[in-house]
Amino acid sequence: MPARLTRFLFKYLSVVFVITAATLSASAQKPKPSPTPPPGEPQGTERILIRRVRLPITVTDKKGNFVPGLTKNDFTILEDKVPQTIETFSDDLSQTTPLYVAVLMDTSPSTAGKLKFQQESAMNFIQTVVKPRKDRVLFGTFDDEIKLLQDFTDKLDLLDKAVYGVKKMGKQTALFDAVWQFCDEKMRSVPGRRVLLVVTDGEDTYSRANLRDAIDIAQRTETTIFAISTKAGFLSTVPGVEAGQVADKKDKDLQTLSEETGGMAFFTGDMLSLERSFTKISKELRAQYLVTYDPTNKHYDGTFRKIDVKLSDGHNDLKVRTKRGYKAISDSVTQ
C-alpha cells in the first residue's frame, strides 16, 4: 500500500475513533433537565409567556376540616408583599374543573418488598379521587429509568392493568428527575387542575435534578404534589420506624416537596391509614378554591416570587395552604 494512502487511512480512522469515543461518553452521561425547551417540544414551537398565576387554595379550621362558603372578598393575594388583583374565583371545583392526576410509583430496590403495598396504594388513590368521564390519570414508574406506562385516561381497567403489570424493579431511585420530567412533559400542557402523587420510600439516589429543581418545575407548571411514603410499610424491614413518623432528611424532603407546591406528605404503614389519607386528599381536591391573578411585576428575570394568601378579618383562626411561590421564567403553561 502506498505510504501516502496509509497516512490518509490512519488519520481517517483516528478521527472516527475520537468521534465515536466522544459520542459514547456523552451518551453515558445522564443529562440534567433543562427548562427550555421542554423535551419533545417540536422545533419552532412558539413559547408563550405566562401572564396569569393560578392558585388552588385549601382552607382548614383548627380541627383540620375543610372550610367551604368563602367568597372572593375573603381573600387577599400578595406577591412579594405587593397586593394582587384577583381576576377569577371559583369555589365549586368538583363541578367546573377537571383533575389531571399523574401517579408515579417508586420501583427501586429499596421498595422491592413493598411492591404489592405500593400497587394497592396507587390504585386505591386512583379509585378514591378520580371521577370517570371527567378526570384523567396517567401512571408511571421511576427507578434508574423513568417510564410512562399509561398516558392520561379515565379508563380504570387500563390503569389497573398498568399498575399491576409492574413486575421488575430497577437499580436506583430517580425521584426528583421523575417529578421534573412528568411536570415538564405532561402536566404543563393539560387543562384543569394538575396533581402529582408520588408513592415512594422517599430516598433519591440517582437524580441529576435536585429537590429545588423538582419544586421549581412543579410551581411553574402549577402542579400540586402529594406524597405517600411507604417507608413504614412492613415495619419489620424498617426497625424503629412507625407510621406517621417523620424521622430523617428524606422524610423532610418529601414534606418540603409537597408543602411548597401546595400539597401534603403522608407517612403510613397500613392500608387502613392509607384509606384515610386518600379520603382526605379526595375531599381536599373537591373543597379547594381556585384563584387566578395577573402579576403586577411582569419582568421575567429568573427571580423567585413569594406568594402569600391571607384571609380577611374574622377568619384569623383558619389556616390557608397553597404553593409558596414560583420562579419568574419565560415559560408556557396551558391555562
Mean pLDDT, to the nearest integer, of 222-247? 63
If asked whether residues 165 and 272 sit together in one domain, one would say yes
Q: How many domains does the chain have?
A: 2
Phi first, then psi: give them for residue 296, nearest 5 degrees.
-70, -30
From CA 307, how far away is CA 81, in angstroms rounded? 8
If asked whether residues 175 and 161 sit together in one domain, one would say yes
If asked whether residues 190 and 85 sit together in one domain, one would say no
Domain-embedded: residue 220: yes
pTM over 0.85: no
Instruction: Mean pLDDT check: name the lowest of 117-126, 129-138, 212-221, 237-246.
Output: 237-246
Tens digit of each residue's pLDDT (9 = 90 or more) over 260-307: 999 999 988 777 888 888 888 988 998 999 999 999 998 888 999 999
From CA 201, how far away is CA 254, in angstroms rounded? 9
316: confidence class by pLDDT, cuts 50, 70, 90: confident
**Residue 6: DSSP 8-state:** H
Domain interval for residue 244: 97-287
If asked whether residues 276 and 171 sit together in one domain, one would say yes
Pick from 259, 169, 248, 249: nearest CA to 214: 259
Judged against a pLDDT cut of 50, whether residue 52 lies above it is answered with yes
If asked whether residues 140 and 283 sit together in one domain, one would say yes
Tens digit of each residue's pLDDT (9 = 90 or more) over 18-41: 434 443 333 333 444 544 443 333
Domain-embedded: residue 18: no
- Please give the pLDDT value at position 180: 97
How buried is 1 (Cβ within 10 angstroms: 0-12 exposed, 13-18 middle, 19+ buried)?
exposed
Instruction: Mean pLDDT check: name the lowest of 92-106, 135-149, 166-180.
Output: 92-106
From CA 252, how far away is CA 254, in angstroms rounded? 5
Mean pLDDT, to the nearest integer, of 89-113? 88
Domain-embedded: residue 187: yes
If asked whether residues 116 and 194 sit together in one domain, one would say yes
How buried is 284 (Cβ within 10 angstroms: 0-12 exposed, 13-18 middle, 19+ buried)?
buried
If asked whether residues 314 and 257 sit together in one domain, one would say no
Residue spans of alpha helices (H) in 203-320: 211-220, 249-259, 271-287
Q: Measured at the alpha carbon of residue 25, what is the angle toward residues 20 and 26, in degrees to the nearest 5?
A: 100
Domain-embedded: residue 61: yes
